[in-house]
Structure 1
Amino acid sequence: MLTHYKETAADLAYQLKDTLVDHEAFETLLKPCTLERCSATCCYDGVYLSDEEAQGVEWLVENERSRLLGFGLNLPNQVVDVVRNGLSKKTAVRPAEVGELAVDFPSHFNKTRCVFLDSMGRCGIQRLSMEDELGDWYLKPLTCWIHPIVILPAGRDRSRSLITLVSAQNDPQKTEDYPGFASCTHCGREEDGGQPAWKVLEKELRALGELSGRDIYGELSAPTIDY
Structure 2
Amino acid sequence: MQNKFEKRINGFYIDPQIFTAKFVKSCDTCICSGECCYYGVYTDKKEYEKIISVKDRILKSMDDSQIKDPSKWFEQPEVDPDFESGIAVGTEVYNGKCVFLDKQGFCTLQKMAIEDGEFKWKYKPLYCILFPLVIFEGALTIDDEHINRMHYCNLMQNQTVTIFEHSKEEIRFLLGEKGFEELLQYKEDYLNSIKEEKIAIEK
Normalised to the residue count of structure 1, the TM-score between the two structures is: 0.64
| 1:79-94 alignment, distance < 5 Å | 79-82=73-76, 88-94=88-94
In the TM superposition, what is the alpha-carbon distance from 1:134 to its structure 2 partner?
1.8
In the TM superposition, what is the alpha-carbon distance from 1:81 to its structure 2 partner?
2.4
* Cα contact 2:147–2:153 (8 A) shared by 1: yes
| 1:48-63 alignment, distance < 5 Å | 48-62=42-56
Separation in structure 1 between the aligned mates of residue 63 and residue 155 of structure 2, nearest angstrom = 37
Query: What is the aligned partner in structure 2 of residue 102 from structure 1?
Result: none
Query: What is the aligned partner in structure 2 of residue 197 from structure 1?
Result: 163
| 1:1-227 alignment, distance < 5 Å | 16-31=9-24, 32-62=26-56, 64-69=57-62, 73-78=66-71, 79-82=73-76, 88-95=88-95, 112-153=96-137, 161-167=138-144, 180-185=145-150, 189=154, 191-192=156-157, 194-210=160-176, 213-215=178-180, 217-219=183-185, 221-222=187-188, 224-225=191-192
Query: Greater helix percent: which structure?
Result: 2
Separation in structure 2 between the aligned mates of residue 41 and residue 59 of structure 1, nearest angstrom = 27
Normalised to the residue count of structure 2, the TM-score between the two structures is: 0.71
Structure 2 residue runs of 5 or longer lacking an equivalent are 1-7, 80-86, 197-203
In the TM superposition, what is the alpha-carbon distance from 1:188 to its structure 2 partner?
6.0
Paired residue secondary structure (1:80): coil
Percent identity of paired positions between Structure 1 and Structure 2:
21
* Structure 2 CA distance for partners of 1:69 and 1:196, relative to 1, 3 Å: closer
How many residues align? The count is 175
Separation in structure 2 between the aligned mates of residue 203 and residue 71 of structure 1, nearest angstrom = 32
Paired residue secondary structure (2:55): helix
In the TM superposition, what is the alpha-carbon distance from 1:152 to its structure 2 partner?
2.2
Equivalent residue letter for 1:163: L
* Cα contact 2:23–2:153 (8 A) shared by 1: yes
Separation in structure 2 between the aligned mates of residue 162 and residue 65 of structure 1, nearest angstrom = 32
In the TM superposition, what is the alpha-carbon distance from 1:18 to its structure 2 partner?
3.7
In the TM superposition, what is the alpha-carbon distance from 1:76 to its structure 2 partner?
2.2
Separation in structure 2 between the aligned mates of residue 137 and residue 90 of structure 1, nearest angstrom = 18
